[in-house]
Amino acid sequence: MVLASPDDPAPTPVGLVRLLIDDESGRLFCVPRTGGRPGVDLPTITVTDGDTATALNRLTRAVFGQACATTLMGFVRNTVPEGVEYEWPSPVAHFTVHRPASSGALPALDGVWLHPVSDADQLSERHWWPLVAVDHDAATAMCDDLLIAWGLWLDDVDRDRDRIVGSATDALVLGLDSPGLRELAGLEIGVDWGDIDNLVLQAAVELHLPRPTNELALRAELERHARQVLRGEEAPGALTAWAHRRVGHEGPRGLLALVRLDDEYAMLEEVPGYWEIPDRPEQVSALDEVVRSAAAAIVAGETDLSRFMPDRWRDIPRPGASADA
């Protein structure tokens, strides 16, 4: 199983550490395989005594001539039955792929530069290949889809079996894979909800994802809409309309500003010939800019958006909120 995961450190035990170095054109730096095996591979070192950090330090020194900061790109996870003769830790062993934290560092040893498209025939059988072949932006978005579907399911917000099956199937098509994910993609009608709960939790662990919750699902949806607003793929009002539907006036205090901003849009609705606002375009444009600023704050990681609350709503308590809430 191959997992794209930036969450360092990777799960243990680790058998091998690899270093992925690419240039501006996307070519990968490769060296001859060891042990007399034909072909090339990423620079690799064996982890001894379970000390991944020391092995990675030795590898970067060997490749660059000095220690180099790295980030985790992902890992391969091999699972074998206990008792089977196997040169790596069992029943589970991990083989990590790291990349230099800063671009521009050039290797100090001999090797070849191969492009993952034109030279795929030389690299596509390597276990780490899916980490290069997969669209990482698409994989990140797909993981968000899974967390949303799974979080809504587990917290009884939306027990949508079709969404569970569809998101798992889409993830497999994209290149994500795990035993639990395959079972979710093949769910049959009538499967007990408790069994689905267990499969969801199993797949989350296998894919190195956090435990799905409605709170995580809400955040993932929020950040997705915010990014779409900033990229111009979604109107600012679509973000606030989503907040009104998904969060509501009694939702988390930190997101209430988005709901009230949607109330502001509603107050600017016109009825031609009956209710018209002379400077409506200017007011809508100003409101759009506030929402875009809120979207930028969301993408930057802010969780309390109270500073974007329209003035008219600042001192009005939430419906159903207690005086000290």
Q: What does the pLDDT average to over 108-115?
A: 92
Tell me the C-alpha to C-alpha distance, in Å, between residue 47 and each of 2, 120, 292: 19, 27, 47
Tens-place pLDDT, residues 198-253: 999 999 988 878 899 999 999 999 999 999 999 999 999 999 999 999 999 988 88
* DSSP code for 284: H
Give the separation between CA 77 and CA 3, rounded to whole angstroms. 8
User: Which residue's structure tokens are 């930028």?
Assistant: 296
Of 13 and 130, more confident = 13
Taking all residues of the chain, what is their mean pLDDT, rounded to a whole number? 87
- Predicted confidence (pLDDT) at residue 22 exceeds the cutoff of 70: yes
- Between 244 and 136, residue with greater pLDDT: 244
In this structure, are residues 184 and 197 in contact, taking their beta carbons and an 8 Å threshold?
Answer: no
Q: Which CATH architecture has domain 2-132?
A: Alpha-Beta Complex (3.90)
Mean pLDDT of 176-180: 84
Q: Is the pLDDT of residue 323 over 70?
A: no
Q: Which residue would you say has higher pLDDT here, 132 or 321? A: 132
Model pLDDT, residue 3: 63
Task: Work out the number of other CB atoms within 10 angstroms of the CB of residue 307.
Answer: 10
Residue ranges per structural domain of the chain: 2-132, 137-206, 217-313
pLDDT, mean of residues 185-197: 93
* Contact criterion met (CB below 8 Å) for 257 and 309: yes
Residue 86 to residue 80: CA distance in whole angstroms: 8
CA–CA gap between residue 105 and residue 116 (Å, rounded): 19
pTM, whole model, 2 decimals?
Answer: 0.62
Q: Are 80 and 90 in contact (CB under 8 A)?
A: yes
